[in-house]
């Protein structure tokens, strides 16, 4: 049996909006909504590996899309 466990578990809900443009173009912001869950996994009794799982939904009818992402991070 591997010595693996879970520490803190947290979540967040967000709304994001932004755009990029050149000087001669008009500004048109794109907006999305989403949610994330962060789980702190602990291996070998002391090594932390935060895992972030998220979902984002674009609200624009033409450019918006759904996206699921996973992020792993480690300290060294």
Note the pTM of the prediction, 2 decimals: 0.73
Q: Tell me: the pLDDT tens digits for 14-52?
A: 999 988 877 777 778 889 999 999 999 888 777 888 999
The confidence score (pLDDT) of residue 32 equals: 94
What's the helix, strand, coil split of the chain in %, to 5? 0, 65, 35
Q: How would CATH label the architecture of 4-72?
A: Single Sheet (2.20)
Q: In angstroms, rounded to a whole number, what is the distance separating the alpha carbons of residues 56 and 23?
A: 29
Confidence of residue 54 (pLDDT cuts 50, 70, 90): very high
Q: Tell me: the pLDDT tens digits for 58-69?
A: 998 888 889 999
Confidence of residue 76 (pLDDT cuts 50, 70, 90): low
């Amino acid at each position: 049996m591997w010595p693996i466990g879970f520490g803190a578990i947290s979540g967040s809900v967000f709304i994001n909006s932004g755009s990029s443009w050149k000087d001669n173009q008009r500004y048109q912001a794109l907006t999305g909504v989403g949610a994330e869950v962060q789980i702190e996994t602990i291996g070998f009794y002391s090594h932390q590996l935060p895992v972030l799982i998220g979902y984002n939904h674009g609200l624009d009818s033409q450019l918006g899309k759904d996206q699921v992402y996973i992020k792993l991070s480690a300290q060294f």
